[in-house]
Chain A
């Protein structure tokens, strides 16, 4: 087959589509739906993935949290509840024994605190006491003001660094710095606002405030609260070493006999990842189901149209063969036409999906803040996948009708009316 013949086939496919606009459109509808599903699904997942990645980066993929409780819920709730609390003294011992960590910080927490500003109460905010070391990790990076200082920590100053969600709900005018809020009746001055970090269901990490550890104890007391120790490894590759070292130190501090199990948990951001992996799996499952279904419909639709088209053009095929078209030329012609239908379907899909992506990503977050992770454009790799898929579908859908056309006997075909 020569180049000029290929060009001619592409022109033919185009002509044939133009002369059967409605039919071509209906035929490619299944493909449009199929490819649109793939693209939109990929768009949502890629938005989700990059939002997660950003969040994990901030929480710290190289940070482990030594805690009484197990985040992933791997251990039975009852079993972890009966563990002894990790005390402040134990946390202090740990901090002085750990060697290889980049930094470590104890945190102590009141899960559902209330903050009062002027005459309004803001409930459900997590209040944490920690050290200035926390301010040195990405999770403590401020967008306004600063983290509290070692001096404020030592003097148990009434200063607070607040999360971005707390800041936006109490101070919609973005003027939180320097304001006094009340925690448990104690006045605290806001010295910093932490950068926005969370997305989707992880946005609780923006709904926290941080006090110097001593100030926290002053307000809440220290009994009945288990300390959680964050340990930053300073690189994912150092996690294994840090985990083992931390476990050893904790076992020593907690006086565990070698035969006893750990009475603490070492948590990692991977716990979140396995949760989101499940969501992603679910989205993929539904998406793949829909995609396969619509592609089957699409392939059958196009195959059907191509069979009709081949039958209608039996005489034409006879003429082409009589004047010297080889079977493979006819085969290629029909497959080209089916593929052209699919490519048009893919183009329509890209157009529709771009419009959807742009409008949803710009409008929806105004009403549903959780939708913020959506990007207003389609990822490049999706466009490539969509084009390849449409080529594949076209060839697949065109193959059987093309074989029938190619095998037509020229004498019989010429006699067809």
Chain B
């Protein structure tokens, strides 16, 4: 169980054709991620971190290579199947939160369940429970502009968690937060990891990356290094 491979990519490339020129966002990247791993993807700006994350999250498809997700061949899936995988198996957390501005925290958290067809009473119950788990039970009826940055990111995390996905993908989740709030969010990720969640974290900040148990460094679309982080921040 501990070693079950969730993500298995082989020779993934992503090439953007910019006029005459080809931009290699990813070159022949191969990697495995197991259940309940906590992985940080690091690298300078433009090294391909977001591209990799979008591919892992089934938002984007590679130009070449193979991707097995939970033993399903993602490379062979159409848009519809990918949407379903995103809905059921993947929870996204973005740097800019990406909440719907006109919807309350509860409605935002309910949204993935709308697309999985859950009846509205069950949806509400699940959303409230998940908000409670991220410490926002008292903000359920607030709209994003009535919440602080840290609170918005908690709503976004609740939205990612509400479908109990196989992995949580977070692209620079503390990028728009002050360091104290950022630290609180990292504590929340640590809790989630301890509860058995699989987390992939994209960051360019060293001290944020130190929260992960494994660090993968990218440079120019290539994996530069991939190692166990012995100095993991564990809040024990």
Chain A contacts to B: CB under 8 angstroms: 2, 4-5, 7-8, 15, 19, 315-316, 318-329, 410-411, 414
Q: Name the contact of A322 in the complex, choosing from B59, B79, B84, B114 (C-beta under 8 A).
A: B59
Q: Name the contact of B115 in the complex, choosing from A7, A323, A411 (C-beta under 8 A).
A: A323
- Residues on A with beta carbons closer than 8 Å to the beta carbon of B163: 324
A4→B118 contact, CB < 8 A: yes
B83→A4 contact, CB < 8 A: no
B117→A19 contact, CB < 8 A: no
28 contacts between A and B (CB under 8 A): A2-B117, A4-B117, A4-B118, A4-B119, A5-B115, A5-B117, A319-B98, A319-B99, A320-B111, A322-B59, A322-B92, A323-B86, A323-B111, A323-B112, A324-B87, A324-B115, A326-B80, A326-B84, A326-B115, A327-B80, A328-B80, A410-B59, A410-B60, A411-B54, A411-B59, A411-B60, A414-B94, A414-B98
- Residues on A with beta carbons closer than 8 Å to the beta carbon of B159: 323
User: How many Å lie between the Cα of A92 and that of B79 in the bound state?
Assistant: 89
- Residues on A with beta carbons closer than 8 Å to the beta carbon of B60: 410-411
Interface string of B114-130 (1 = CB under 8 A from A): 11111110010000000
- Residues on B with beta carbons closer than 8 Å to the beta carbon of A326: 79-80, 83-84, 115
- Residues on A with beta carbons closer than 8 Å to the beta carbon of B88: 324
A327→B117 contact, CB < 8 A: no
Chain B contacts to A: CB under 8 angstroms: 54, 57, 59-60, 79-80, 83-84, 86-88, 92, 94, 98-100, 102, 111-112, 114-120, 123, 159, 163
- Identity of the chain B residue whose Cβ is nearest the Cβ of A8 in the assembled complex: B114
Task: Given A4-B118, A316-B100, A414-B98, verify A324-B112 contact (CB < 8 Å).
Answer: yes
User: How many Å lie between the Cα of A2 and that of B119 in the bound state?
Assistant: 9
User: How many Å lie between the Cα of A315 and that of B94 in the bound state?
Assistant: 13
B112→A327 contact, CB < 8 A: no
- Identity of the chain A residue whose Cβ is nearest the Cβ of B54 in the assembled complex: A411
User: How many Å lie between the Cα of A321 and that of B85 in the bound state?
Assistant: 11
B117→A15 contact, CB < 8 A: no
User: How many Å lie between the Cα of A411 and that of B79 in the bound state?
Assistant: 13
- Identity of the chain B residue whose Cβ is nearest the Cβ of A326 in the assembled complex: B83
- Identity of the chain A residue whose Cβ is nearest the Cβ of B160 in the assembled complex: A323
User: How many Å lie between the Cα of A321 and that of B79 in the bound state?
Assistant: 10
Task: Given A4-B114, A19-B102, A320-B111, verify A327-B119 contact (CB < 8 Å).
Answer: no
B118→A323 contact, CB < 8 A: no
- Residues on B with beta carbons closer than 8 Å to the beta carbon of A319: 98-100
Q: Name the contact of A324 in the complex, choosing from B54, B84, B120, B123 (C-beta under 8 A).
A: B84
17 more A-B residue pairs beyond the given contacts A323-B92, A411-B54, with a C-beta to C-beta distance below 8 A:
A4-B117, A4-B119, A4-B123, A5-B117, A19-B102, A315-B98, A316-B100, A320-B115, A321-B59, A322-B98, A323-B86, A323-B115, A325-B115, A326-B84, A410-B59, A411-B59, A414-B98
Q: Which of A8, A321, A323 has the most CB of B within 10 A?
A: A323
User: How many Å lie between the Cα of A323 and that of B109 in the bound state?
Assistant: 10
User: How many Å lie between the Cα of A320 and that of B60 in the bound state?
Assistant: 15
Q: Which of A8, A322, A326, A414 has the most CB of B within 10 A?
A: A322
User: How many Å lie between the Cα of A19 and that of B103 in the bound state?
Assistant: 12
B122 to chain A, nearest CB (A): 9
A324→B102 contact, CB < 8 A: no
B48 to chain A, nearest CB (A): 13
Task: Given A5-B114, A5-B117, A7-B120, verify A322-B86 contact (CB < 8 Å).
Answer: yes
A256 to chain B, nearest CB (A): 82
- Residues on A with beta carbons closer than 8 Å to the beta carbon of B87: 323-325
- Residues on B with beta carbons closer than 8 Å to the beta carbon of A316: 100
B102→A15 contact, CB < 8 A: yes
- Residues on A with beta carbons closer than 8 Å to the beta carbon of B111: 320, 323
Q: Name the contact of A327 in the complex, choosing from B83, B94, B99 (C-beta under 8 A).
A: B83
- Residues on A with beta carbons closer than 8 Å to the beta carbon of B86: 321-324
- Residues on A with beta carbons closer than 8 Å to the beta carbon of B79: 326-327
User: How many Å lie between the Cα of A319 and that of B115 in the bound state?
Assistant: 12
A329→B94 contact, CB < 8 A: no
A145 to chain B, nearest CB (A): 72
A315 to chain B, nearest CB (A): 7
- Identity of the chain A residue whose Cβ is nearest the Cβ of B85 in the assembled complex: A324
- Residues on A with beta carbons closer than 8 Å to the beta carbon of B54: 411
User: How many Å lie between the Cα of A196 and that of B111 in the bound state?
Assistant: 67
User: How many Å lie between the Cα of A2 and that of B98 in the bound state?
Assistant: 25
A206 to chain B, nearest CB (A): 64
B232 to chain A, nearest CB (A): 29
Smallest CB-CB A-B distances: 6 pairs: A324-B87, A2-B117, A324-B115, A326-B83, A323-B112, A324-B86
User: How many Å lie between the Cα of A89 and that of B57 in the bound state?
Assistant: 103
User: How many Å lie between the Cα of A243 and that of B153 in the bound state?
Assistant: 90
- Identity of the chain A residue whose Cβ is nearest the Cβ of B116 in the assembled complex: A324
- Residues on A with beta carbons closer than 8 Å to the beta carbon of B100: 316, 319
- Residues on B with beta carbons closer than 8 Å to the beta carbon of A414: 59, 94, 98
A266 to chain B, nearest CB (A): 71
A319 to chain B, nearest CB (A): 5
B136 to chain A, nearest CB (A): 18
A364 to chain B, nearest CB (A): 47
User: How many Å lie between the Cα of A328 and that of B115 in the bound state?
Assistant: 11
- Identity of the chain A residue whose Cβ is nearest the Cβ of B113 in the assembled complex: A4
B227 to chain A, nearest CB (A): 29
- Identity of the chain A residue whose Cβ is nearest the Cβ of B88 in the assembled complex: A324
- Residues on A with beta carbons closer than 8 Å to the beta carbon of B119: 4
- Residues on A with beta carbons closer than 8 Å to the beta carbon of B123: 4
- Identity of the chain A residue whose Cβ is nearest the Cβ of B101 in the assembled complex: A316
A324 to chain B, nearest CB (A): 2
User: How many Å lie between the Cα of A318 and that of B120 in the bound state?
Assistant: 23
